[in-house]
Amino acid sequence: MSAGTNGPEDVGVLVVGSGAAGLVAALAAAEQGARVTVVEAAEHLGGTSALSGGRVWIPANGSEANAGDSPEAALRYLTQVFDTRYAPMIEAFVETAPVMGRFVESHSAHRFVACPHYPDYHPELEGATAGGRCLDMEPVRLGDLVPEVSALYTPPGYVPLTHAEWERWRYPDRFDHALLQARQRDGVRTNGVGLMAALLDAVVRRGARVRSRTRLLSVRTDADGRVVGAELEHDGSRRTVDADAVVLASGGFDRDDARRRAMLPPALGVSAGSPGNTGVALDVARELGLQVDNLGEGWWMPMLQIPGESVDDAPYPRSLIRERGTPRQILVDRSGRRFVDEAVPYNELGKAMHRRAPDGSHPHREAFLVFDDGFRRRYPLPGIPPRADLPPWVTTGDTPEDLARRVGVDPDGLDATVRRWNAFCATGADEDFHRGDSVYDRYYGDPDQPGNPNLGPLDEPPYHAVPLVSGTIGSKGGPVTDVDGRTLRADGTVVPGLFAVGNAAAFWTGDGYPGPGATLSVGMTMGYRAGRAVARAPVAVTS
């Protein structure tokens, strides 16, 4: 960036961060006529959103698969899941999320595809649905988009598979590998890469400038407290810029080791957030005296670290979602005992791993997924196709006791747990944690297995184990905002021209996670509202 001849460069609306929340904010502002500049601290674009599954949870979205839904049902559901201290935010989300979805489709190459069978994460609650609120996408071809999409993150192990294809095929030995290889070769993308490619293309085509390797150092305000610009650093060179408004969309703080240890649960082990998620919004909040909230919350995920896999030269873990619902595996802690229904939604499993014992310890922070050779022949794990030779980071034992000794688990505890589990499988009912009772559990079970699709014995030696850690796909703490993303000072007054959206803001969801794609949906919806507010236009809520 170069300064103008008469002073600092005027960047218009400055959006800090190139994830889904930031790009939707940028697109909404640009469509209202604002000049927009997007800056990204990392070398690659797309943030955590590009590394994600790319699905978006939109209640009452108007699709045929969601025909029985309503805003009233969604509101009933969300008030049981989210933090009701922020009731106006919940109402604004329910009102605006479908509008945001239509806006994205009408102003970008992204096309939503409903997932009719993908349940909400708490199907037992009033207002929940058994499918239709989660939206996947049609694949996009990068060659049809602007050149900037080549700079997007791609996660380790990426496969351009749609969710409908996964539902149809389930297991890698059934995949249409020729189709998937052709997509890779031809630059056809799905998941978070596809979503972010379509959004980035739309933002650039609308005239916004996008700059990577550009870090926000501070936000400048005038004597009245109004935002007038920012201090940026690009490739080690500092630059002062003028701006009409600043939108903080820089992600959470979970990739900053010190902040993660200080604020998030002690049992948390790793982060799958973008490497740039170091908490710049908290720096701004401290400098300007903003309210902050939810600093101890995050979007929890059990994870597996495969040696050698990284993003931007930093170790990057794989999420464990589908694998935990399959038969012939259990999750145990160092005592060798189960402590949770393994198939629960990942956010709930994270909470279980974080639980404190009465003595203050965290007995479940170290956990192991234990499976038998029957699992290995039937089901995949990240980086391990079915029937493949097991890599060195998988521990194997001839018996449960032998396996336990090798991984440092109580042998008697694991032997007793496997015997008890196998007895449950014989009757088809998990008497300890009710695995398979929930429609969500069953969604990730083996549909080819008679009876309970989630239960299967560990009775085919040898036995295997991999360590699981509790991770986060984003922290939730940051500046408190109003329903349009305007940041609030400690006294409750608005900072004119300063907005925060997505994981950079105080995610008013509390510890709740309503369904697949909710992280992206809430961030994108608030980004849409902020982008409209930045451009001084009312938020449209008409159908």
Q: Helix and strand tally (H, E) in the chain? A: 15, 26
Question: In the chain, which segments carry CATH 3.90.700.10?
Answer: 302-471
pLDDT of residue 192: 98
pLDDT of residue 3: 46
Give the 3-state secondary structure percentages of the chain, helix then strand then coil, rounded to 5.
35, 20, 45
Q: What does DSSP assign to residue 361?
A: -
pLDDT of residue 7: 72
Max Cα distance, the chain (Å): 79
pLDDT of residue 535: 82
How many residues are listed for the chain in this entry? 543
**Burial of 117 by CB count in 10 Å (0-12 exposed, 13-18 middle, 19+ buried)?**
middle
pLDDT of residue 536: 75
Measured over the CA atoms of residue 370, residue 373, residue 374 and residue 376, the dihedral's sign is: positive
* Cα separation, 328 vs 306, whole angstroms: 21
* Cα separation, 248 vs 290, whole angstroms: 13
Q: Which residues contact 85 (CB under 8 A, 6 or more apart)?
A: 508, 510
CATH number of 10-250+476-534: 3.50.50.60
* Cα separation, 414 vs 430, whole angstroms: 17
Question: In the chain, which segments carry CATH 3.50.50.60?
Answer: 10-250+476-534
Digit-coded pLDDT (tens) for 131-189: 999 999 999 999 999 999 999 999 999 999 999 999 999 998 899 999 999 999 999 99
The alpha carbon of 210 is separated from its chain's Cα centroid by a whole number of angstroms, namely 23
DSSP, residue by residue, 118-176:
---S-TTSTT--SSSSEEEE--EEGGGS-GGGGGB---TT-----HHHHHHH-SGGGS-
pLDDT of residue 540: 43
pLDDT of residue 388: 83
CATH number of 302-471: 3.90.700.10
Type of residue numbered 284: V
* Cα separation, 124 vs 129, whole angstroms: 9
Residue 526 near residue 505, CB atoms below 8 Å? yes
Residue 207 near residue 193, CB atoms below 8 Å? no
Q: Which residues of the chain have pLDDT under 70?
A: 1-6, 537-543
